[in-house]
Amino acid sequence: MSQPRKRHSSRLLLSCFNLLAATLLARGTFPISVPVLAQSARATSNRAAIVNQASYSYTSSGDSTQITGTSTQVLTTVNRSILVDPLGRITDCAGSTLADYRGFRVALYEANSSDPTGSEIGRLLRLTQTELPNIPNNGIPEGITPNRENSNPFFIAGGDEGTYSFLLSSDGGQLDPGRSYILLINPPEGSIYSQRRVKITIGARNGRTLQYTATSLDGKPISATDRRTSMVQTINIEDAEKVGLNLAVLGLNTSVCQSQEIQIIKTGDRAAAEPGDTVIYRLLIKNLANSTENNIVVTDRLPLGFNFLPDSVRGELQGQRIPITAEHNGSTVTFRAAVPLPPKAVLNIAYAAQVTPDALRGNGRNSAIVNARRNDNNQDVKDGPAVHQLRLRGGILTDCGTLIGRVFVDKNFDGEQQPGEPGVPNAVIFMDDGNRITTDANGLFSVANVISGHRTGVLDLSSLPGYTLAPNLYFSERNSQSRLVHLAPGGLVRMNFAVTPTFQEQSSR
């Protein structure tokens, strides 16, 4: 009878032990080691199972029986994706918070694989859905602020103070080295700010540490407080939401498609001009930023045949005349203003250029650019080229041409100047229109702006004592002191005269 009681006692002790184990396990104070088995095998779902199960063993005090067993399984599922977020904030050029963020939209795109430059956007990146606050056991991972649902695109609310966030998942290769994304920031329609594009390339990964490279695609500095257009950031995946990428949206004119913090406009006092005219050009430089701009430099390139008049330069700012320095090098004129340009202020520069006959060979197109530096963040700004097109008219010179020629000593009487046949200086030629031409030290002469048609020139032999016309053995019509030529409109024609020394024959007695 004692043996059955012992077995009954053991069963009773085991039942009491199981009850105690269940109670302590529920309270979290079970004194026996509980191994945790994390099942991380890849599955089609984004969730992984974690199984908790307790094993136990003891010896019965009555009959020294060894008792072993395991508890029931406690199954918990968790999201197995690693989420990393490029968290950032939109600021103005000085790094300050904008007055109003309503209408700003931030989106993350895949880079266009067909674009060799890697700067064009592709498909909108599909992100893992999140929620905040988190609802346990619903299969949706916990999100972060401000983009609680991990929406793409994300619309910035007024109370977010310009912050945005996107969570990238390790599933689907979003964190694989070499993956590239384009972060696109769109201001509201009609805003004074421009669109920004920043390329984000995933770099090397070392355990829980990840590197990425951010590159500005518009040539502007990425950060308002840093002038770099490319930077490498290292983030810790476990605490990625605390790592930010600060972007600056640069102030523009009224267009969201053009980057303008300064504006230049070029005008002229006429739409058409002809040789001999003087053209007055005006340069208008306007500060569109909310900061003072210094080191104003305007580079103006004049058209062919336009002569810059240095004494004509004038500068004006807010109704006051200011000094403007001008440097002239060929067709390029550089203007510098020593005074700062306040926000929304306009600097006016005026100067004059004279139109020469050479301008008819050019296009009359004049262009200018402006460079300056912001006072708040020391970033360079520029605009241009601003173009003014002047229509050129020939006037009385439209049908004119150029007459060239020489007077020389013809030793072989062929009518052409050969090596060793010198020119005759100070010879006089009279044209049919009454113009008197004198040769230079080499016997050469030229006349520009000669009316086209048949023109006649006559050599004045009285201006050449000791010389007479040289006989021409090949062309009898050249045995005359006059020449007849035909000058085409805008053309060039040559008029030569050959002479030979005269000798008086000595008389014999």
- Cα(346)–Cα(325) distance, integer angstroms: 18
pLDDT beyond 50 at 80:
no
Find the distance separating the first CA and the last CA of the chain, reported in whole Å. Answer: 192
Top pLDDT among 281 and 65 is at 281
Q: Among 72-81, 245-254, 400-409, which is the least confidently predicted range?
A: 245-254
Q: Do residues 300 and 307 lie in contact, with contact meaning Cβ atoms separated by under 8 Å? A: no
What is the DSSP annotation of 364-409?
-EEEEEEEEEETTT--EEEEEEEEEE-EE--GGGTTEEEEEEEEEE
Q: What is the mean pLDDT of residues 460-476?
A: 88
- Cα(131)–Cα(328) distance, integer angstroms: 65
- Cα(288)–Cα(381) distance, integer angstroms: 11
Q: What is the mean pLDDT of residues 91-107?
A: 80
- Cα(196)–Cα(93) distance, integer angstroms: 13
The rounded percent of the chain whose pLDDT value lies above 70 is 74
Q: What is the mean pLDDT of residues 126-133?
A: 87
pTM for this predicted structure: 0.47
* pLDDT band at residue 294 under the 50/70/90 scheme: very high
* For residue 385, cis peptide bond before it (omega within 30 degrees of 0): yes
Task: Look up residue 184 and give its two tokens.
Answer: 């696109």
Residue 65 CB coordination number (10 Å): 12
In the DSSP assignment, the letter for residue 4 is H
